[in-house]
Structure 1
Amino acid sequence: MFPAARTGFASHGLSAWVLAGTLLLAGCQTDPTNETFRVDRAQGSEQNIASLSSVIAANPNDPEGYNVRGSAYGRAGEFRRALSDFNMAIQLNPRFYQAYANRALVQRNMGDQAQALQDYNAALQLNPRYDVAFIGRGNLYRQAGQLDRAFADFNQAIENDTTDPRAYHNRGLIYQSRNQHAQAIEDFSTAISLSSTSPEPYNGRGISYLAMGDDDNAFSDFNTAINLNGNLAESWANQALVYERRKEFQKAIRSYSHALKLDPKYEPARAGLARVKAAS
């Protein structure tokens, strides 16, 4: 259940710069701990929750009602209430594997990574083909630096014929971290085909295009990311990097400066702006 689990993308966790002629790649700054709740906030509105509460009051022994309301609480950022609802859903149906995975999302957002991992494992014991749990567990492994385990989980979700774009996007991030950019581009492209309105895979693919010296396609992807969501500092800094490589320094300055307006703490934009000002 938990539709939020299928909407967000993980952070790239890389950095994108040209230093001493060597390309180091800049990554997405999307907070991976909150990615799974970045959906239509109306689904977590007071009105929607009130409606779900009425359903639960009429059917207090139906675990599905608690699971759905827990999802709404999660999207509203009310994690303790969400946790309580998922606990109740599991109490009513101990084999409710979706509720285990949903509870893991909440625990992940609350910083309890060990308990989140335990719940993802429980969901997969109950349903060994559950792609949401493989992807969620893969993200936990990836954040912990266990890239081989993360890769195995994303790969398993893909082998199970998932249509969740995050599996491809996140596997692409690992390919990218291993400098396997052709494979990364292929995975980011598949993620885009499954979810063309998310900026993250465009940024990811653009970074790999840059690594392969294809500045034109990289520039196109970064511009698409900006058009989809103009509030990501990463996208503007990536665009600025292409301007910098083209020696269009005034345009690079504008893009780096805009990135810093969006996120004054975004170090790649700060360093890039200083570097371009010195060069111009």
Structure 2
Amino acid sequence: MEALIGGRNHSWRNAALAAALLSGVALTACQSGPTGELTSVETAQGSSENISSLSAVISRNPQDPEGYNVRGSAYGRGGKYREALKDFDKAIELKPNFYQAYANRALIQRFLGDQGKALADYNQAIQLNANYDAAYIGRGNLYRKAGRTQDAFNDFQKAIQLDTTDARAYHNRGLIYQSQGQHAFAIEDFSTAISLSPDAAEPYNGRGLSYLATNDEDNAFADFNMAIKLDGNIAESWANQALIYERRGDKARAAKSYARAAQLDPNYKPATEGLARTRGS
């Protein structure tokens, strides 16, 4: 789900959502958003060369909070969470009303497992700037993962009311609609997410599942195929494609797609169970 402020967004994927039960098979969608969290980093932005360049800028301007915020973002993308945390701490020390740094630090706190501190930082970012859409989206994801669905929905709704152009708000609200069986609303939100982030695979998976839940198999299949075309390393996409093949009676192709999903994620049950059903057919 999320991106650190100061760089491009990137794709994510997380645990599966039970979207529908069709023909006795559970459908699953990625539980985050097309712009993701730090599971897929842009190596150039988190590279040692980039860090060195940013450190040189900071050494020339050690009292500039922006420099620490940018370097902290680069550290975060490179998986160096402790270093990122120190830089965001310094940015906030130099600029106590630096709401972007609070939101960035909140995301790092989440990855370090301190959800309480993450929530406090998101709250502080919103207190400093009540119109900061990224903080609502980040806090919404925090709420969603804690099972606070209504609070999450309210935050995504608020970001959308602020005219956000961040696809995560629509994608994640779509996931909530989908989990509640409101597939028409879900399809609309996933479609908006796609228009805002056309290169992200996850909203295609989400929309495909809602199409399938409404028995629109052709559009579902098209969306799953597009998800694979955009990112062939997401197990859910292959398992969803396999499910269509299985429903159509093409067990050989289904087994091949399930096998690819299981290869990408050996612990992904829809893939391993689907492979067991179709292997050798």
- Give yes or no for TM over 0.5: yes
- 4+ residue stretches of structure 1 with deviation over 6 A? 29-32
* Matching residue of 2:155: 153
Q: Are the structure 2 counterparts of residues 10 and 260 from structure 1 closer, same or farther at C-alpha, using a change threshold of 3 Å?
A: closer
Shift of 1:229: 0.9
Shift of 1:83: 0.2
Q: Are the structure 2 counterparts of residues 29 and 181 from structure 1 closer, same or farther at C-alpha, using a change threshold of 3 Å?
A: closer
Structure 2 CA distance for aligned equivalents of residues 137 and 30 of structure 1:
13
- 1:59-114: CA deviation from partner (whole Å, max 9, x where unpaired): 11110000000000000100000000000000001000000000001111111111
Aligned partner (choices 9, 13, 16) of residue 16 of structure 2: 13
* Matching residue of 1:143: 145
Gaps of 5+ in 2: none
* Matching residue of 1:258: 260
Gaps of 5+ in 1: none
Aligned partner (choices 116, 120, 124) of residue 126 of structure 2: 124
The secondary structure found in structure 1 opposite 2:44 is: helix
8 Å contact kept, 1:6–1:165? no
8 Å contact kept, 2:26–2:270? no
* Matching residue of 1:238: 240
Q: Are the structure 2 counterparts of residues 197 and 220 from structure 1 closer, same or farther at C-alpha, using a change threshold of 3 Å?
A: same
* Matching residue of 1:51: 53
Length, aligned pairs only: 277
Structure 1 CA distance for aligned equivalents of residues 127 and 121 of structure 2:
10
1:169-180 alignment, distance < 5 Å: 169-180=171-182
Structure 1 CA distance for aligned equivalents of residues 119 and 83 of structure 2:
20
Aligned partner (choices 198, 201, 207) of residue 200 of structure 2: 198
User: Is 1:2 paired with 2:5?
Assistant: yes
- 1:185-240: CA deviation from partner (whole Å, max 9, x where unpaired): 10000000001111000101111111010111011011111111111111100000
* Matching residue of 2:183: 181
The secondary structure found in structure 1 opposite 2:29 is: coil
User: Is 1:25 paired with 2:27?
Assistant: yes
Structure 1 CA distance for aligned equivalents of residues 126 and 253 of structure 2:
49
Q: Which has the higher helix share?
A: 1
The AA in structure 2 aligned to 1:27 is A
Structure 1 CA distance for aligned equivalents of residues 54 and 20 of structure 2:
48
Structure 1 CA distance for aligned equivalents of residues 230 and 267 of structure 2:
22
8 Å contact kept, 1:67–1:89? yes
Aligned partner (choices 100, 103, 106) of residue 104 of structure 1: 106
- 1:104-137: CA deviation from partner (whole Å, max 9, x where unpaired): 0111111111100000000000000101100000
The AA in structure 1 aligned to 2:193 is A
Q: Aligned-residue CA RMSD in angstroms?
A: 2.1
8 Å contact kept, 1:253–1:273? yes
Q: Are the structure 2 counterparts of residues 76 and 101 from structure 1 closer, same or farther at C-alpha, using a change threshold of 3 Å?
A: same
8 Å contact kept, 1:203–1:235? yes
Shift of 1:3: 3.9
Structure 2 CA distance for aligned equivalents of residues 2 and 12 of structure 1:
24
The AA in structure 2 aligned to 1:2 is I
Shift of 1:30: 6.8
The secondary structure found in structure 2 opposite 1:108 is: helix
Structure 1 CA distance for aligned equivalents of residues 133 and 8 of structure 2:
10
8 Å contact kept, 2:38–2:79? no
Q: Are the structure 2 counterparts of residues 215 and 260 from structure 1 closer, same or farther at C-alpha, using a change threshold of 3 Å?
A: same
Bigger shift: 153-162 or 263-272?
263-272
Structure 2 CA distance for aligned equivalents of residues 29 and 268 of structure 1:
15
Paired-residue identity, %: 62
8 Å contact kept, 1:12–1:29? yes
Structure 2 CA distance for aligned equivalents of residues 151 and 5 of structure 1:
25
8 Å contact kept, 1:49–1:73? yes
The AA in structure 1 aligned to 2:214 is M
Q: Are the structure 2 counterparts of residues 169 and 148 from structure 1 closer, same or farther at C-alpha, using a change threshold of 3 Å?
A: same
Structure 2 CA distance for aligned equivalents of residues 227 and 59 of structure 1:
44
